[in-house]
Amino acid sequence: MPKLNALIAGSTGYIGIQLVKLLIKHPNINIKYLCGNTSKGKSISYFDKSIKNKKLPKIIKFNNNLLNDIDLVFTALPNGEAQKISNKLLKKNILIDLSADFRLKSAKEYLKWYKIKHSSKNNIKNSIYALPEISKKKLKNYKIISCPGCYPTSILLPLLPLIKPNLIKLNNIIIDSKSGYSGAGRGVHKKYANKNLYESLSAYGVGFHRHNSEIQQELNNYSKKNIKFTFTPHLSPMFRGILSTIYFDIKNGITIKHINSKLKRFYKKDSFVKILPINSLVSTNDVINTNYCHLSVCKSKYRNKLIILSAIDNLIKGGAGQAVQNLNYYFGYNVKKGLVWKI
């Protein structure tokens, strides 16, 4: 079977580098082009010494002519840039986007949250919000695959199976998320120059973090109800990983065993979501450098309240990994290709 030719735009950022590392291991992918605006002519190993594959191309600046030789376009670019590329796609090109450009199904909402006027409104309808475990059967109907944000991935995976079957109350879900500082991109050190990233824990985007928009959209779309939640993110003194702690009230007659069993049944055929025994303590260390999400349902001191712990690697399961997972589902490959070294 011939390999698919791939282009990675934004290949030198944290997500882009991680994507290169995964696709190198994918037996069905040939990385034909690596693109970057300020790194033209450099080798990708300049940005990460662990990448020693000499067959990788030098970094070049993106231009539309490159699309003629490409099956897959991965965009790990600043918000607003993937829209421009989407307007130039050829019939044979599939775009897998890791920015926020096609996550929101309303250009008005995108402008509200990202302060950028959407330049590819017609392509919004040609895109799918692609949380792999939820959308895998629908991917083939779309040319633009929009990968969720890192925080929403850690939040939607535990909540979506519970909100539809009327197991939990939907009016006061509390979400406390802590992420490694790589989630803020390579510019994090300049942006938080007055913070000690290596020894302090910092709340940010309190009440109005951009990821509120896609969390709200997906919870409402999936449940067909208006879900009320409060989400507070924090930057933690670690490079990678996310731990989300989710607090909610359960309906009368529902127990912790009901919640745990529902999650187990929902994800029984999904390779990358692991439901741990009840009251297990979850650590980001257990999922670092993997595409796994670990979930644990825990008791609280109140009979009608439960807590779910959700851990992922923000650069893999919350980024490059689910892009590869969506690629595998789209083309019918083994879902573990490029994501588990021994299949």
Record the tokens describing residue 142, joined without a space.
């779309």
Amino acid identity, residue 333?
Y
Q: Which of 35, 147, 150, 298 is catalytic?
A: 150
- Classify the C-alpha dihedral 203-197-37-129 as positive or negative: negative
> In the annotation, is 35 catalytic?
no
Ordered DSSP codes for 106-131: -HHHHHHHH----S-HHHHTTEEE--
CB atoms within 10 A of CB 9: 24
Write the DSSP symbol of residue 99.
S
Per-residue b or e along 94-108, where b marks 16 or more CB atoms closer than 10 Å to that residue's CB: bbbbbbbbbbbbebe
3-class DSSP state of 319: helix
Ordered DSSP codes for 157-219: HHHHHHHTTT-B-SS-EEEEEEEEGGGG-TTHHHHTTTS-TTT--EE-STTT-THHHHHHHHH
94-97/29-35 β-pairing: unpaired
Following CA atoms 231, 235, 241, 245 in sequence, which dihedral angle do they give, to the nearest 10 degrees? Answer: -30
Active site residues: 150
